[in-house]
Structure 1
Amino acid sequence: MKWLVLQVILASLLLHFGYAYKYETYFYKQKVDHFSFVDPDSYSQRYLINDESWDSDGGPIFFYAGNEGDITWFAENTGFMWDIAPEFNALIIFAEHRYYGVSLPYGNKSFTEPKYSGYLTSEQALADFAELISYLRIALPGAKNSAVIAFGGSYGGMLAAWFRMKYPHVVQGSIAASAPILQFIDITPCEKFGQVVTADFARESSQCVEVIRNSWAAIDAVTADEVGMNWLTGAWKLCQPLKTQKDVQKVKEYLTDVWTNLAMVDYPYPAEFLAPLPANPIKVVCTHLTEPTLEPKALLEELFAGVSVYFNFTGKAKCLNADEAADSNLSTSGWDFQACTEMVMPMCYDGVKDFFEPSPWDFKAYATKCYESWNIYPRPLMAPMIYGGKDISAASNIVFSNGLLDPWSTGGVMWNVSDSVVSIIIPEGAHHLDLRSSNPDDPQSVIDARILEKKYISTWIESYKSENEI
């Protein structure tokens, strides 16, 4: 191969709810621009390997398409692959997405200006994955005839699906969990996402919904002057004092993310995916949000008790840092850039059918903010144009799974496209619950989903062996 692997191997352990996930870490030299014959730049892409269960005589490769964060974090939260690897005698690989984790093409300069950040695209990331797999088929004894099954959740699920569509000769099938490949302009209405978030809280109580709906006006009333800002700073134990209305807006944006994230990770058992949380975290939050008619300060004290479940369930936080992303395990710089280029996923709220502060979708304002932040303008129709949007009837061997508690399901494939591109609905499932490790508290719907996913994986592997006479 032209691009050689760097022989950097680190024995590692991931401890996850009693499981020990062992892997070795490697780095592979990738071209920064796969579509140019003249660009000499390269970077080191990190990937993780576990071969404990692998039958090196043609056993399959389970390949995780890394998404917007450190790859070790996704390895820790994708237990389904680890659970079923022994059953399939599979090799496990987690590949880090370019510009995330330590896979930074230009180091500290990677996000400084467009000439460096411009190579952060889904197309280049998929080319990385295809190049890496092609290398490993040759470099690993016994991998030449291995079927490759891609896995991914959320943006990683989008990549897993698109990987099969774009490189069907490289990957033989894909499990695309909570993959909102339809969450784009002119495909999915912008208001649907917030309505699902609100419905998740409404399942617990109407009072809980009303407290959150009334909280926006309460914040405005309390923070109308400096005295009120000082009060909220103290009452909410904010790490940074409120001094301007811009600071207040940051707090509101933080709250919007908190309510959204709680809907995403409303798992039936304790988990630490976006934050350390108890089982059924929305239920726990809503036990604090019971009196929607309180006067503003009392309402905000009640709201803070609910928010504390999210940011301080462990009791270790000394203050609430509204300047820090509510999902700090993800890379805010990388995803913010992608959201300003090809991953433009409109969101809007009306405060009536949802409990958010009213906020219409304003593409012009969105584009202006992107230019101010990154010196670029969005390409809102690019992803559907590249990958087909809803017109994916030519695809094959993809399972799209969606939990109905997950607001991202509004942009998911919720119907069977064909006999081999199928949809699995998990009524009690939050964000890619099926990719997590099995748990005694799993609902039957996710147990059934995993059984069906394993059936398709087995079919794809056997079909590949038959076609290649392995």
Structure 2
Amino acid sequence: MASLAVPWWLFLIWTCLGVSLVHCDPTYETYYFDQKIDHFGFYEDSTFKQRYLVSDTHWKKPGGPILFYTGNEGDITLFSNNTGFMWDIAEELGAMLIFAEHRYYGESMPYGNLSYSDPKHLNYLTSEQALADFAVLIRFFKAHGDAKHSPVIAIGGSYGGMLAAWMRMKYPHDVVGALAASAPIWQFEDLVPCSLYYQIVTNDFKKSGSGCAESVSKSWAALNRMAETDDGIRWLSSAFHMCSPLKGKEDVTAMKGWLSETWVNLAMVDYPYPANFLEPLPAWPIQEVCKHLTNPNLDDKGLLQNIFEAINVYYNYTGETPCLNTSQTAVGSLDDLGWSYQACTEMVMPFCPDGVNDMFEPQKWNFEAYSDDCYKQWGVRPRETWITTIYGGKNISSASNIIFSNGDLDPWSAGGVKQSLSESLVAILIPDGAHHLDLRSNNAYDPKSVIEARALEVAYMKKWIKEYRQQLNIWDV
């Protein structure tokens, strides 16, 4: 993919980062539903098995609410086991939980083993088709007995949060409301400055330690100078304990990309308690990293030695990692291949660190280069303006009953809705929150801001449920 954008696989990681610690008892049943491969045409009339998970332990039937997780780009069990907020509130709301798997991920493969074989078989991997899957599945549920009058609330985080918001916009008759956590629905075209994302990462480092962001900023020139000589490249290989020695400038360029991704990952997981999604990490990991980056005025080797110590917090906090690998990623159970295709079709998100207002090397957004890389990989070209065409961009005032939650520490908040647009298009800000902290399970170290955010989210859900029942003249909450 083009180096001018956030790497396609990194968004997958971030999607997972916001989900909660594994809930203590995520009991569910697994089912499969026959979905049409193409909801919008009539020639392709085949079906596939869409997997979905159901927990009705706390469901107050008939008519109890349904919390419907709009599946992300990965195995749905990952999200079921890790979206603790839904499990935490199920009993209070008397809700059934449904986790619907996104087509082309996990076990929900429209063409089986051929699904990723060529662009023709991948042609139905779109957000529109996924939303239609969710709508058909909801209709199936509500056509049967005890769920006939159940209000449905869509919930998701990151890409799943985008889908939850779009679900309410496109299918308001199927879902009474949506919680879109850390959903960057405006990270498209020029809706927000393409440099803002990296500025948020930089601010996280600035507030976490004196000299920290400055050290990172100066490290790029130091790396460039080391890359000018064979001795410098050998020194880098040794100092950073590389599993495979760097062989030339191209490897150093790849190393810089790897370091950039590491700093961004740390911003994603800057949680107030230990977590181990990508790697085992301490509470407030950026503060721990910044303890090694207090002096930005050292010579090249001294500065870069500190950079190594800093990233070692991320990759080797347990002390069990023997060496580092610039191709080392941590995508877990998420599917990098599927998202790379989506990023090369609909999900075109511009990013452009400027090196002035952030601590990264400057890179201009170049859609043409991005498109060329997509064509080389997939044989398709992205449609830069398609998402705003079908979902409205910032023109969403006609929608209703959507909560947009964003954490101030989360770079993805750059593309999020951070100001309420109406009485029912509500923005909730979490000053101490990284990537959708509110979807994680309750924790003793939760900051007050996320506790208050969750309480407000539940209050809106109760309001939506009550209004739905009153409209149907059924009963009050």
Q: 2:167 matched to 1:134? A: no
Equivalent position of 1:69 in the other structure: 74
Task: Supply the RMSD in Å over aligned alpha carbons.
Answer: 1.9
Change beyond 3 A, Cα 1:45–1:225: farther
Q: How far apart, CA to CA, are the structure 1 residues paired with 2:453 and 2:345?
A: 34
Q: 2:180 matched to 1:176? A: yes
* TM superposition shift of 1:292: 1.6
Asked if 2 retains the 8 angstrom alpha-carbon contact of 1:274 and 1:329, the reply is no
Equivalent position of 1:419 in the other structure: 423
Identity %: 56
* TM superposition shift of 1:304: 1.4
3-state DSSP of counterpart to 1:102:
coil
Q: 2:207 matched to 1:203? A: yes
**What does 1:41-440 align with in structure 2 at a 5 Å threshold?**
41-139=46-144, 141-440=145-444
Listed as ranges, the gaps of 5+ residues in structure 2 are 1-18
* TM superposition shift of 1:318: 3.4
Asked if 2 retains the 8 angstrom alpha-carbon contact of 1:263 and 1:407, the reply is yes
Letter paired with 2:298: L
Asked if 2 retains the 8 angstrom alpha-carbon contact of 1:42 and 1:105, the reply is yes
* TM superposition shift of 1:459: 0.8
Asked if 2 retains the 8 angstrom alpha-carbon contact of 1:342 and 1:383, the reply is yes
3-state DSSP of counterpart to 2:473:
coil
* TM superposition shift of 1:327: 4.0
Q: How far apart, CA to CA, are the structure 1 residues paired with 2:246 and 2:115?
A: 32
Equivalent position of 1:11 in the other structure: none
TM-score after normalising by structure 1: 0.93
The worse-fitting range, judged by mean Cα deviation, of 22-31 and 231-240 is 231-240
Change beyond 3 A, Cα 1:137–1:314: farther
TM-score after normalising by structure 2: 0.91
Q: How far apart, CA to CA, are the structure 1 residues paired with 2:160 and 2:370?
A: 24
Q: How far apart, CA to CA, are the structure 1 residues paired with 2:171 and 2:129?
A: 13
Q: How far apart, CA to CA, are the structure 1 residues paired with 2:318 and 2:454?
A: 31
CA deviation profile, 1:183-231 (whole Å, cap 9, x unmatched): 1112111011100100010001231111111111222222334443333
Asked if 2 retains the 8 angstrom alpha-carbon contact of 1:208 and 1:292, the reply is yes
Q: How far apart, CA to CA, are the structure 2 residues paired with 1:451 and 1:78?
A: 16
CA deviation profile, 1:304-342 (whole Å, cap 9, x unmatched): 121122222233433323224354443221111111111
Asked if 1 retains the 8 angstrom alpha-carbon contact of 2:430 and 2:453, the reply is yes
3-state DSSP of counterpart to 2:34:
strand
CA deviation profile, 1:123-143 (whole Å, cap 9, x unmatched): 01101111111122235x411
Q: How far apart, CA to CA, are the structure 1 residues paired with 2:391 and 2:252?
A: 39
Letter paired with 2:168: R
Q: How far apart, CA to CA, are the structure 1 residues paired with 2:250 and 2:94?
A: 54
Which protein has greater RCO, CA pairs closer than 8 Å, 6+ apart? Answer: 2
3-state DSSP of counterpart to 1:320:
coil
3-state DSSP of counterpart to 1:46:
strand
Letter paired with 2:128: E
* TM superposition shift of 1:257: 1.5
Letter paired with 2:269: V
Q: How far apart, CA to CA, are the structure 2 residues paired with 1:324 and 1:101?
A: 22
Q: How far apart, CA to CA, are the structure 2 residues paired with 1:284 and 1:364?
A: 39
Change beyond 3 A, Cα 1:418–1:189: same
Letter paired with 2:388: P
CA deviation profile, 1:263-309 (whole Å, cap 9, x unmatched): 12211111233433211111111112222222222322211121122
Change beyond 3 A, Cα 1:137–1:273: farther
Asked if 2 retains the 8 angstrom alpha-carbon contact of 1:254 and 1:326, the reply is no
3-state DSSP of counterpart to 1:368:
helix
Letter paired with 1:341: T
* TM superposition shift of 1:49: 1.4
CA deviation profile, 1:78-126 (whole Å, cap 9, x unmatched): 2111110000110111111112223222334323321012211110110
Q: How far apart, CA to CA, are the structure 2 residues paired with 1:44 and 1:87?
A: 32
Listed as ranges, the gaps of 5+ residues in structure 1 are 1-13
Q: How far apart, CA to CA, are the structure 2 residues paired with 1:350 and 1:82?
A: 41
Change beyond 3 A, Cα 1:84–1:360: same
Q: How far apart, CA to CA, are the structure 2 residues paired with 1:194 and 1:122?
A: 26
Asked if 1 retains the 8 angstrom alpha-carbon contact of 2:71 and 2:102, the reply is yes
Change beyond 3 A, Cα 1:321–1:142: farther
Letter paired with 1:201: F
* TM superposition shift of 1:250: 2.2
Q: How far apart, CA to CA, are the structure 1 residues paired with 2:67 and 2:34?
A: 21
* TM superposition shift of 1:61: 0.6
The worse-fitting range, judged by mean Cα deviation, of 439-448 and 84-93 is 439-448
* TM superposition shift of 1:15: 11
Letter paired with 1:356: F
Counterpart pick for 1:29 among 18, 31, 34: 34
Letter paired with 1:144: K
Asked if 1 retains the 8 angstrom alpha-carbon contact of 2:23 and 2:81, the reply is no
Asked if 2 retains the 8 angstrom alpha-carbon contact of 1:198 and 1:354, the reply is yes
Equivalent position of 2:8 in the other structure: none
Asked if 2 retains the 8 angstrom alpha-carbon contact of 1:325 and 1:332, the reply is no
Asked if 2 retains the 8 angstrom alpha-carbon contact of 1:80 and 1:434, the reply is yes
Q: How far apart, CA to CA, are the structure 2 residues paired with 1:283 and 1:251?
A: 23
Asked if 2 retains the 8 angstrom alpha-carbon contact of 1:257 and 1:326, the reply is no
Change beyond 3 A, Cα 1:53–1:315: farther
3-state DSSP of counterpart to 1:460:
helix
Equivalent position of 1:3 in the other structure: none
